[in-house]
């Protein structure tokens, strides 16, 4: 549904995107992650046709964004970062206004507005002025305007920024409900959102893609084993570091025990080897647990690694 191939962008002498490539299949929700200033918003603006890439191609629904911009825009719903609204309009009036701009037929206008009002939980504020709404309801209105033309593709740029935990949860549930119905790109730097709603992740840093996979694979690749044993620290640590599959060992003493965190190549299963070696060495093994890093830990590790 979405194909991004080697897009680059310069603003003057400054390059803000460098050969960015990724794909999103129909019905997927892709988490587009990166620290502030990584190039997320610039990428989304290129996908909307707001400005063209200086290099590379973008296809949405089979159409090239630079060659067939109108065909692409008819498939899109866009929630921009700062959610521009018309505060003096009512929710209903604003959504009708947007529907007309987006080419929704008059005979379908009321049906589409009724649908997005229901989907986004706006029934109780439908005839209220937008300026009278809370931040959470304004974000709902922003999501509703992105959906009012029933787009195949939805681009969401920081839809939960500035919201309280309850409002974040409500917006997250709205996005989750779109899974399978729409193809969604969710641009954010809030990692729990991605873990809970996204089927695929792209991480961008300084305008470059540094990782892309589904959340489970990304966290599995950064897994480790936690061990609690009774053994001499230096001897035990040396033993662990000499195992070929082990990449890194962190160890600390807890009373008379040693707790070790063993990072290893994920293509190998090292637990049987660890257990056998510890027992054969005459050490007492109390715990051996597989662990998986959170997406937030993986993100921080990748971004920090790239920075160094």
The answer to whether the CB of 226 falls within 8 A of the CB of 34 is no
Q: What is the pLDDT of residue 298?
A: 82
In whole angstroms, what is the distance from residue 43 CA to residue 290 CA? 37
Instruction: List pLDDT tens digits, range 245-299.
Output: 888 899 999 988 999 999 887 777 888 888 999 999 999 999 998 887 788 878 8
Q: What is the pLDDT of residue 219?
A: 79
DSSP result, 172-192:
HHHHHHTBTTBEEEEEES-HH
Phi and psi angles of residue 132, each rounded to the nearest 5 degrees, phi first: -90, 0
Which of the four pLDDT bands, split at 50, 70 and 90, describes residue 216? confident
**Bridge partners for 32 per DSSP:** 187, 202
In whole angstroms, what is the distance from residue 168 CA to residue 152 CA? 24
In order of their start, the domains of the chain are 2-219 (3.40.50.300), 224-292 (3.30.70.100)
Instruction: List pLDDT tens digits, range 79-130.
Output: 998 899 999 999 999 999 999 999 999 999 999 999 999 989 999 999 999 9
Strand runs labelled E in 239-304: 246-254, 257-264, 284-291
Using alpha carbons, select from 235, 222, 197 the residue that is nearest to residue 300: 222
Using alpha carbons, select from 306, 131, 69, 290 the residue that is nearest to residue 209: 306
Q: What is the pLDDT of residue 18?
A: 96
In whole angstroms, what is the distance from residue 257 CA to residue 97 CA? 68
Q: What is the pLDDT of residue 168?
A: 84
């Amino acid at each position: 549904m979405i194909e991004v191939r080697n897009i680059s962008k310069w603003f003057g002498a400054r390059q803000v995107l460098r050969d960015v490539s990724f794909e999103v299949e129909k019905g997927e929700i892709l988490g587009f992650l990166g620290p502030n200033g990584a190039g997320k918003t610039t990428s989304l603006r290129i996908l909307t046709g707001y400005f063209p890439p200086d290099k590379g191609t973008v296809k949405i629904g089979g159409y090239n964004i630079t060659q067939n911009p109108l065909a692409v825009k008819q498939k899109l719903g866009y929630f921009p970062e700062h959610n521009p609204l018309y505060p003096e309009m009512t929710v209903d009036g604003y959504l009708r206004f947007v529907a007309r701009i987006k080419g929704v037929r008059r005979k379908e206008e009321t049906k589409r507005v009724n649908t997005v009002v229901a989907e986004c939980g706006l029934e109780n504020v439908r005839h209220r002025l937008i300026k009278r709404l809370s931040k959470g309801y304004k974000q709902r209105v922003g999501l509703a305007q992105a959906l009012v033309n029933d787009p195949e593709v939805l681009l969401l740029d920081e839809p939960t920024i500035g919201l309280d935990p309850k409002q974040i949860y409500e917006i997250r549930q709205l996005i989750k409900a779109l899974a399978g119905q729409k193809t969604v790109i969710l641009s954010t730097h809030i990692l729990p959102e991605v873990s809970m709603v996204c089927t695929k992740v792209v991480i961008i840093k300084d305008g470059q893609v540094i990782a892309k996979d589904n959340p489970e694979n990304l966290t599995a690749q950064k897994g480790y084993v936690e061990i609690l044993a009774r053994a001499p620290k230096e001897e035990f640590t040396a033993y662990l570091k000499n195992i070929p599959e082990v990449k890194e060992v962190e160890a600390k003493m807890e009373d008379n025990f040693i707790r070790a965190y063993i990072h290893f190549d994920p293509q190998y299963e090292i637990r049987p080897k660890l257990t056998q070696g510890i027992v054969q060495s005459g050490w007492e093994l109390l715990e051996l647990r597989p662990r998986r890093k959170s997406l937030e830990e993986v993100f921080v590790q990748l971004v920090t690694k790239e920075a160094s």
